[in-house]
Amino acid sequence: MGSKKANGDKNVKKSGFTLVELLVVIAIIGVLMGLLLPAVQNAREAARQMQCTNNMKQLGLAVMNHNSNNQGRFPSGGHGFAYIGDRERGTDYNQRGGWIYNVLPFLGLETLHQANMSERFNTPVSFFNCPSCRPASRYPSRARAHYSDAQSADSPSMMPKSDYAANCGTVTSVEGHSHDTYNSHGGLIFKESMVYEKDVTDGLSNTILVGERSLNLSFASINPPLGDDDDCFLGGQNYDTLRCYANGKLTQSRIGYSNSSGFGSVHQGFVGFIFADGHCQTVSYSVTSEVLRNLLHREDGNIVDTSSL
């Protein structure tokens, strides 16, 4: 009996992976991961792009509601980069703060609109940041000016910023122009602007209102790059809240370079825009300078069919 049991044990096959089989399994898993990771990354980026579009839709709706409450007038661009909004000065050209400050009540942010300056400096707003670019947070500032409103003055080193800017026209640089120069270059929002919907004779659906900004992605550095060194609530002639025709190109944001007066994005292949009727649309980086110029001018008579962009 004992010898039979021993012989039977010899016929039992050993189970388990051999080293070769294990390596094959690992290789298969590696291939599957290589196939799945790009798909997961693409899905995440698609979700971020969708949120960016939703942010712009909310901003567009806020501007439309602002216009409805102000006889069809677009938000004014404010006075200069030393001012970030004054609750005592209304919403027209007397308001020193910028367009973002002026639309806060129409984003459900009346409390922030009425807050003192230091509170606004400490309050990032998710509507103003593209999630593909950066989260809503406070970022380093150069504090180029001693910011002030009717209640206080401050020079903070950290402040909330916006990834979206208003169209100040076909000028080639955002800063250094008078109100009259901006106005003659066909933008919708600029220094001390008072532009009405009826002034957009090229058509509201054919004229850019707000777009994504070209950024140097070194924005987290202690000395932030030009074009991204100030607060999102300020007014006047500033790269941080206004953009223009610049060099006639849309620029993809990247580390070490930005078109600091122009529009751009971190997205692959396109830049997101809000048009003056509130609709959102993407425009390819390959858009011609002529078409871009026409989209940024409210009354030059050169009407672009935006369905072809």
Q: Is 63 exposed, middle or buried (0-12, 13-18, 19+ CB in 10 A)?
A: buried
| Residue type at position 219 | F
The CA–CA distances, whole Å, from 294 to 35, 144, 187, 224, 244 equal: 43, 33, 11, 32, 12
Pairing of strands 164-167, 147-148: unpaired
pLDDT band for position 1 (50/70/90)? Answer: very low
User: What are the start-end ranges of the H helices in 149-273?
Assistant: 179-184
Residue 13, pLDDT score: 54
Beta-strand (E) ranges in the chain? 138-140, 147-148, 153-154, 158-160, 164-167, 208-212, 242-243, 251-252, 264-265, 270-275, 280-284
Across 136-149, average pLDDT: 73
User: What are the start-end ranges of the H helices in 152-303?
Assistant: 179-184, 289-296
Across 238-266, average pLDDT: 92
pLDDT band for position 145 (50/70/90)? Answer: low
Look up tokens 């005592």; give the residue. Answer: 88
**Cα 101 to Cα 104: distance, rounded to the nearest angstrom:** 6
* In the predicted structure, residue 10 carries a pLDDT above the cut 60: no
| Model confidence pLDDT, tens digit, residues 116-136 | 888 888 899 999 999 999 999
Residue pair 269/169 in contact by the 8 Å Cβ criterion: no
Residue 279, pLDDT score: 97
**Cα 275 to Cα 153: distance, rounded to the nearest angstrom:** 35
* Residues 6 or more apart whose Cβ sits within 8 Å of residue 51: 131
Residue 17, pLDDT score: 65
Task: Give Cα 120 distance to the centre of its chain.
Answer: 19
* In the predicted structure, residue 3 carries a pLDDT above the cut 80: no
**Cα 76 to Cα 26: distance, rounded to the nearest angstrom:** 61
* Domain definitions of the chain by residue range: 31-308
* In the predicted structure, residue 261 carries a pLDDT above the cut 50: yes
Percent of the chain with pLDDT over 70: 90
Q: How many residues does the chain have?
A: 309
* In the predicted structure, residue 201 carries a pLDDT above the cut 90: yes
Using alpha carbons, select from 84, 241, 78, 92 the residue that is nearest to residue 149.
84
Across 73-86, average pLDDT: 86
